[in-house]
Structure 1
């Protein structure tokens, strides 16, 4: 029985190293959305988030050697779609709006190398442009921690499932910033 369990565990570790993992779909943080609804935001367009190349270092994440990717093509585009989703929920998304959000992903990683704990890190330079003028620019950061495991068969899927929470944590930080809110008001 012990041999069978050891073989199963070894097989899971080997297969985990070969598989490619996809980031789960983002879902909005509704308490943050509800708080923003009271701020009476103006219409907002979403610009292009950078870097778009899947080969850019911030868009290349591995979870214990296994590639971690998004269906959007890059993690910058994942963040872009997350903000679009939130602005759609708020009913303020308008591609023709005078106010636009641009962003550059500076740091992006999921670390599942720990024995009991995993971490996510993200830094983004976010700009709000209103009628062609930059009215707000700031680097926002997020860090998350989660229970993990020494076993890759547990740690890798856990890191994968935690990525949307990292993005939500970053967006909560942005949406709670009075300077950001002032910049996107009409």
Structure 2
């Protein structure tokens, strides 16, 4: 009986002292974003390199209430953003590996706040570049703060925060696609 208690106590210490590691959901494209791209009158583009700047508020993985949220795209949120662009450009029929215009970027901020309150938020900021024949024709920073209902209970707040991440990326891309200077740069 004593041995069982020792093993059980050791097991509980290990379980309670280690955070849970969770994979973020794969990106689900926004039909509204695809429509924005289709209606823009732009030509085809290719998606180039996306990187991530090491800075406070740009963690990889993202820490949410003691759990770690990792990207499903090579454990990189910069790759998550690139994949989101590729998916929406593909469905809008606006992507080609031979295009003269290339979209690339740097992820500057990427954080989820699901602290003990009734409102959580995701903050994403990225610098987007468009190059045509190697010359930069667009260089802008886009930033969003996506708020969502949260809860005191971690069992409710954590899944909600994870689910809302994709919507935050969709909002960031909608902001990019709505920028007249971006649309002009990829024409």
> What TM-score does the superposition give when structure 1 sets the normalisation length?
0.85
1:52-131 to 2 correspondence within 5 Å? 57-72=58-73, 73-131=75-133
Q: How far apart are the structure 1 equivalents of 2:30 and 2:164?
A: 14
Distance 1:166 1:177 in 2: 17
Runs of 4+ in 1 over 2 A off after TM superposition: 56-60
CA offsets per residue over residues 29-87 of structure 1, 9 Å max, x none? 1122113212221110101100299xx94423111010100111211100100000011
Does residue 35 (structure 1) correspond to residue 45 (structure 2)? The answer is no
Distance (whole Å) between structure 2 residues aligned to residue 77 and residue 132 of structure 1? 21
Residues in 1 aligned to 2:104 and 2:20: alpha-carbon distance in whole angstroms = 33
Aligned counterparts of 1:36 and 1:46: Cα–Cα separation in 2: 14
Unaligned runs of 5+ residues in structure 1 are: 1-10
Tell me how far apart the structure 2 counterparts of residues 32 and 175 of structure 1 sit (CA, whole Å): 7
Q: In structure 1, how many angstroms separate the alpha carbons of the residues matched to 2:59 and 2:89?
A: 24
C-alpha distance in 1, partners of 2:115/2:89? Answer: 35
For 2:27 and 2:89, the matched residues in 1 are separated by: 13
Post-superposition offset of 1:128: 0.3
RMSD: 2.1
Higher gyration radius (CA): 2
What are the superposed Cα offsets for residues 12-37 of structure 1, whole Å, 9 maximum, x if unpaired? xx77x632111112112112211321
Gaps of 5+ in 2: 1-11
What's the offset of the Cα at 1:114?
A: 3.4
Aligned to 2:52: 51
Alignment length (residue pairs):
171
CA distance in 2, matches of 1:44, 1:75: 21
